[in-house]
């Protein structure tokens, strides 16, 4: 069982590194003022998606702007933190679901369900290179050579020849929304609040 380290941590965001051989926390990486929500690995780093405290003037309501941290697994240090320019702030209590982060296909993708946007980041130049509006979009996964986002009731391709177009529609638009995605070699698993769907390569093509 992994031992809890919460009692010894200051009130800020942290990324904890756990040794799978001993189930012990071996490093605590601080994310000052941050609220980490999702972690992904690939493209030369560990990527943490979340929100950072934002207060325009003393006494104003504390809002939260999207942020992506890059952590070097060799040094256990944050080497970059990125925020998309002009991204709207939000109140964390209003989030419909947590963000997702996926490092795949030569880029890093970060979703922000609160604003319905998925951003694409160049991991080498550490800059945002594109965005796409996805209604209630949050979960991300790569399957059949394409990066997919789960929208309100359908899958949306973020890469490939149909990027930004219509993907398989799975649900009644007024029914449960997509809450999670997971991929295998030729299958995409789609979770909602009350069901699990298996989508094979033929429907994703």
How buried is residue 1: exposed, middle or buried, by Cβ count under 10 Å (0-12/13-18/19+)? exposed
Q: What is the pTM of this model?
A: 0.81
Report d(CA 188, CA 56) in Å as an integer.
42
Per-residue pLDDT of the chain (205 residues; tens, 9 = 90+): 444 444 344 457 899 999 999 999 999 999 977 889 999 999 999 999 988 877 777 777 777 788 899 999 999 999 999 988 766 555 555 545 778 999 988 999 999 887 788 999 999 999 999 888 887 667 899 988 889 888 777 788 888 887 877 666 665 554 567 888 888 877 888 888 788 888 877 777 6
User: What does the radius of gyration of the chain's CA atoms come to, in whole angstroms?
Assistant: 18
């Amino acid at each position: 069982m992994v031992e809890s380290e919460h009692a010894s941590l200051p009130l800020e965001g942290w990324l904890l590194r756990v040794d799978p051989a001993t189930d012990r926390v071996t490093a605590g990486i601080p994310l000052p003022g941050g609220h980490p929500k999702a972690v992904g690995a690939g493209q030369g780093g560990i990527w943490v998606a979340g929100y950072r405290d934002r207060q325009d003037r003393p006494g104003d309501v504390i809002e939260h702007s999207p942020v992506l941290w890059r952590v070097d697994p060799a040094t256990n240090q944050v080497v970059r933190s990125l925020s998309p320019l002009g991204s709207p702030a939000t109140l964390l209590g209003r989030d419909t679901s947590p963000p997702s982060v996926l490092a795949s296909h030569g880029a890093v993708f970060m979703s922000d369900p609160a604003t319905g946007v998925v951003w694409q980041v160049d991991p080498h130049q550490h800059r945002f290179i594109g965005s796409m509006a996805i209604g209630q979009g949050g979960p991300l996964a790569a399957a059949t050579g394409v990066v997919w986002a789960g929208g309100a009731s359908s899958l949306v391709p973020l890469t490939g020849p149909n990027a930004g177009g219509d993907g398989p529609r799975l649900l009644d638009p007024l029914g449960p929304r997509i809450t999670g995605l997971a991929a295998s070699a030729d299958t995409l698993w789609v979770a909602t609040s009350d069901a699990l769907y298996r989508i094979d390569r033929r429907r994703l093509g």
